[in-house]
Each structure stands twice: as structure tokens, then as C-alpha cells.
Homo-oligomer: A and B are copies of this chain.
Amino acid sequence: MAQLQKSIDKRTALLKATLSLVNNGGIQSASMAKVAKIANVSPATIYLFFESKQDLVNQLYLDVKGSFAEAAFSQYESDDEVKKSFEKIWIAMAAFKLENKEEASFLSQCDNTPMIDEETRQEGLKYLTPLFDLWSKGIKEGIVKDISPYLLYAFSIYPMAFLMNMDNRALCPLGENVINEAFQVAWDSIRV
């Protein structure tokens, strides 16, 4: 039982080490040797938990995407209006990204590089189903533009990645007011 916990801790430490290394120098700087050293473990031990470096990165992706989605939809209540629901989700996503900068930056690296398997990527997309359903509902009600969900995502959610990037580089600090402005822009882009 304590043994199981120790295993979980070790896996967590390995994922955390990988996250940090990828963020600070890209996938190329996250070598198995460095990951092991940071997690205080032998390189060989990594292979007790992950079958390859690719598997390690894939699992990290699903892990992070999972906790992102959990945060995003934690406040979701199905009897809210569509706009209110969207606002709750959007703000929760922004909050997660601001509070978990490493996770956020890792996810945007994953979205734009070949570092994640296409299969794993698809798996990660499923986490966002509630949002797609909400948009469907909004379209039926005539308050969301009747266009592809990819367009809706591209213009209302994806921009967060850019803003977080600018925030990290201190080029556009994201205070509460900017976040609210940004939400307004997001909503204006998809509302009919």
C-alpha cells in the first residue's frame, strides 16, 4: 500500500521533471538522463513506468490535458444559459492557464509540434467534448454562429495560448481587466 504510493510518487516526479525540462528548452533538452536526475531516480527506472520516451511524453500530455479539462468544466452547470456556461468555462480555462503556467505552455508546445502521436492527440481532444456540445446547443438556439466547431475553437479558445505566451514573456501581463476584455473579444467572435 505504501509501496503503491511510492510508485505513484515516482511516476509523478518523472512527469513533473519532464514537464519542467520540456518547458525550459523544448523536447530536445528533456533527455532521459536529465529527467532521471531531476526525479532523483536512475535512468533505468523510467522504463519501469514508461515504455519509451515517446510514451513518457504522450502520458504527460494526457495527464496535463486531463487536469486542464477538469478545471475547465468544474463549474459547469447544465441549466445555465449558453453564454453564461461559455463564460464560466472560458474564465476557468484562463484561470487554470494562469495558475499552471508550465502546464499551459507545455500544452501549446504539444499542439504545434510533432512531439505527440496523432492517436494520443485525438484522445486528448475528447476531453473537450462538453464544450463542443455547448456550442451545438448555442447554434440550435441561434445565439452562436453556425460554423465549424474548429472555427469556434480557433477564434475563442486558441488565442489564450498566445496571450499566455505574451504574459510569460512579460510583453502583455494578464491582469483581471485584460482577462475580462479578452473574454469579451472571444464572445464577440463566436456570437451571432
CB nearest neighbor in B for A189: B189
Q: Tell me if A108 counts as interface (CB < 8 A to partner B).
A: yes
Residue contact A108 to B118, C-beta cutoff 8 Å? no
Q: Which residues of chain B come closer than 8 Å to A166, judged between CB atoms? A: 150, 154
30 A-B pairs (CB sep. < 8 Å)? A26-B27, A26-B113, A26-B114, A26-B115, A27-B27, A27-B28, A108-B112, A109-B113, A112-B112, A112-B165, A113-B113, A145-B185, A147-B181, A147-B185, A148-B172, A148-B178, A150-B171, A151-B182, A153-B162, A154-B159, A154-B166, A154-B182, A158-B158, A158-B159, A159-B159, A185-B190, A186-B189, A188-B188, A188-B189, A189-B189
